[in-house]
Chain A
Amino acid sequence: MQSILAVDDSASMRKMVAFTLTGAGFHVVEAVDGQDAFEKAQNHAIDLVLTDQNMPRLDGLGLTRKLREHPKFKSTPILILTTESSDQMKQAGRQAGATGWLVKPFDPGRLIEVIQKVIR
């Protein structure tokens, strides 16, 4: 079973994502912000990181940069959930080392499809 680290400061979003992904057969590790995610990433085998952008302590881009600095996560797929789909945001995501982006709000089915494009 593949593990996904779901990072969002909003509990409802996190639960929804976790429920959706669990239902699709993934193992889900939840984290409440970037910092929490980075710590949890050390102790779990993570196959994909799905992170919100706007969070306290450490945001999605910050988490992405931090993970990319770590040899263990050099090539782990990282998807950023964002409400902005502006060029600026995408540019920032690309520079931080993210794999891709998904605009919020999204349909749960859509989320699974996008994730399955990256990991199988």
Chain B
Amino acid sequence: MGEMMNEGQSAGGNFDLSQFYDIFFEEAGENLDQMEQMLLQLDLEQADDEELNAIFRCAHSIKGGAATFGFADVAELTHQMESLLDKLRRHELQPTPPMVDVLLESSDALRLLLGRHQGRHVDTPATADLVQRISALANGQAAAIPAATAPPAAPPTTAAPEQPAPTAFAAPSPAAVATPAPAAASTAAPRTTTRLAGERELEIHIGPMEHPGQADSIAELFRDISGLGRIEALPCDQIDKRVYRVHTQSSDGDLLDLFTFHVSKEHIQIVDLDALPTEQVEPAAAAAAAPQAAQPIPGEGTDFGFFDDAPGMPAAEPSNASPTSSTEPASALTEAAAPSETATVATESAPVAAVKAATAASATRAEPRAATPASMESSTLRVSVSKVDQLINLVGELVITQAMLAQKSRELDNASTQPLLAGLADLDRNTRDLQEAVMSIRMIPMSVVFNRFPRMLRDLAGKLGKRVELITHGEATELDKGLIEKITDPLTHLIRNSCDHGIEMPQERLAKGKTEHGNITLSASHQGGSILIEVRDDGKGLSREKLLKKAREKGMDAPDTLSDADVWNLILAPGFSTAEVVTDVSGRGVGMDVVKKNIASLGGTVEIDSAEGYGMSVKVQLPLTLAIMDGMSVRVSDEVYILPLSSVIESFQIKADDINTVAQGAQLVKVREEYMPVIELERVFDVPRFEHNASSPIMVVVESDGARVALMVDELLGQQQVVIKNLESNYRKVTNVSGATILGDGKVALILDTSGLVRRSRH
């Protein structure tokens, strides 16, 4: 921390901004998401002011950050977007579909640019075309306002500089410090008057250098980077220097960042010809200073200023102040424009503020550096997922330790241990609360997934010539981050399916008496310990006849007596291409079986419902989290196994003769006039049972993939929450086992993979 402090204190160019890159990237991503979403929702005929402002702010924010952190290409493109959006929000232009298109494309391009800056190997987007299209849209349709970037800007040809604006200065300081006019500042070459809107005219001085030829690489930059601007070499009488005339929309900082790839910063000088007063000023002191290098600054610069009659300026300037600013208090007192009251308060309140500051200081003086991070107030905190996972892991361990203590404490029962037992009961409760709180950190709202679909649907519907509206419900429903990431692909599949195969063409819909545009509803809600996500469309639905016919062609067993639910489930079977059958759209293997497999691997289920001609619905049920599970512990011989409580249907004791052995030694148990396969866990896991309770075994019925099996166990031990430990990453994959957990007594118990066991019973 100490080092960073020193760095912060040293003003100027050696300030390391890279530490803020990650936060900028994340924020830019969020801004792009938000912008995209709002663009898609934008009602072009009646655009809401607040919406337009919000979209503008997104571009504006990204631009500001990109410019600050030196991502010139991002700043450049967002600058163009911002210009267009600024006109939209000022109602100088009416939003049109081509505008939305180009803004969306730009947002894609920005994602790629940002990705490249993050070190990802992605294609470099062609931004030049976008920049051109945006500025054409911004200019072409608004002939009244020629300047693309800053509408209120002075016409480019006038000599009056746009910045600094003289009126805002107490006294304009002649030599603009940010851009020191070098001795060579040439006015020899005539200044051009034809310029693109928002463009600045600069002179770049390179040198003195031993090999001034290096400077030519800078000219190449302008060739290579489209949209950067134009450059021309100017005659220069000093052989160790080069002078260029540049027309660009990029900021000095951006240019400097680019140039320093080829020439060191000390050798670059950027002179803003627009900022120079019309009469040539005395050359500024240092010839070698970089534009933004630390220098004593006078009252104002091109990049900042104080209002001469403004409240808040110090009452008296200390000795090192420039003469111009020391006149400010006087003017503040005499200026009629300012209410005299304000000025008086200004002088009086200075000591008050000082006292306040002193109190604050004395409170924190003892450890000022340690105190500062805590003072950075914000309602949210960004933390890396690995830290959260570590926390969850530790809480998991704590839960186990707590369970061990609880188990041990059951053996104690005399009066002297009462306080201990009470303490343990508290520990139990607190541990549970802690676990819940920690788990909730990983929970993120479904909107993260939902938000990507409007754009996808818009593109897809456009391609297919369909009109589709996406309605979402329950975006605030929270789900474990791990699950959110894994549910995205299956949901994308389902929504694509609905749009591609479910929703009819507009004419067809109108002919059927439906609305021209199809509706796809995406909803999420909590149901007990799980989350229910539904994708519903009002398209053509599934055809029972076609599905049955197709199933028979595939050689599947599909009698006419199959229930509707079973018929719909046919599309989940591997290799069952629904595309040809249901919608006659060929060439798209939709892979519903993959969707089902992915969701099953998350411990979820898929349920399909449909009405031919009216649409279909796919319901996906998922557990809330992958890290903790409600389990039922059972004993087989000396081993304890955990069954996921969600798959346990019932348990009962039977008589030995209720079990029938059929062909190949397979066993069946008759439960309420229904036969069910029996799995003896002792055989599956090869654990010999010593006290075989042959006369009345205990059966636990579990269900998976719509099929049920009865597991034969020795004892039901109880229900408990278990922390799932991945077996694959700690050991290797074991058939019929989905993971492991540590029990209260410290022993490891295997968590059974019920779907694996059900599959086993089928073979």
Contact = CB atoms under 8 A, between A and B. Distances in A.
A87 B165 contact: yes
A118 B314 contact: yes
B11 A85 contact: no
B13 A107 contact: yes
B357 to A, nearest CB: 5
Contacts of B378: 11, 14, 30, 32
A93 B308 CA distance: 12
B676 interface: no
B123 interface: no
B60 A93 contact: no
Contact of A1 (B292, B307, B341, B360): B360
B132 interface: no
A27 B364 contact: yes
A23 to B, nearest CB: 2
> Interface on chain A toward B: helix, strand, loop, or mixed SS?
mixed
A107 B253 CA distance: 9
B172 interface: no
Contacts of A52: 64
B306 A100 contact: yes
A102 interface: yes
B354 to A, nearest CB: 9
A94 B64 contact: no
A42 to B, nearest CB: 14
Contact of B356 (A40, A45, A55, A109): A45
Contact of A97 (B310, B318, B359): B310
A56 B54 contact: yes
Contact of A9 (B23, B61, B69, B253): B61
Given A18-B376, A28-B376, A105-B64, A88 B307 contact: no
B425 interface: no
Nearest to A26: B372
B145 to A, nearest CB: 14
Interface string A76-120: 111100011111101101100111111111111110111001111
Contacts of B162: 85-86
B597 interface: no
A68 B342 CA distance: 10
B-side interface size class? 35 or more
B375 interface: yes
Contacts of A85: 162-165, 302-303
A118 B152 CA distance: 29
Interface stretch (B2-10, B461-469, B502-510, B518-526): B2-10
Contacts of A113: 11, 294, 297
Nearest to B362: A1
Given A11-B23, A97-B310, A105-B251, A86 B153 contact: yes
A38 B128 CA distance: 42
Given A1-B365, A75-B349, A99-B307, A104 B377 contact: no
A107 B63 contact: no
Given A10-B65, A11-B23, A83-B63, 10 more contacts: A19-B19, A75-B346, A78-B312, A85-B165, A86-B165, A90-B168, A99-B312, A104-B64, A109-B15, A110-B303
The 10 lowest CB-CB distance pairs between A and B, nearest first, are A23-B8, A109-B11, A77-B312, A99-B312, A100-B306, A12-B24, A105-B67, A105-B68, A45-B356, A75-B346
Interface of B: 4-13, 15, 17, 19-20, 23-24, 27, 54, 56-57, 60-61, 63-65, 67-69, 150, 152-153, 162-165, 167-168, 251, 253, 292, 294, 297, 299, 302-307, 309-314, 318, 321, 325, 341-342, 345-346, 349, 353, 356-357, 359-361, 364-365, 368, 372, 375-379, 382
29 contacts: A1-B365, A2-B357, A3-B360, A11-B378, A13-B64, A18-B376, A19-B8, A20-B15, A28-B376, A55-B57, A74-B341, A75-B345, A85-B162, A86-B153, A91-B167, A94-B309, A94-B310, A97-B310, A99-B312, A100-B304, A100-B306, A100-B310, A103-B304, A105-B251, A105-B253, A110-B292, A112-B9, A113-B11, A114-B304
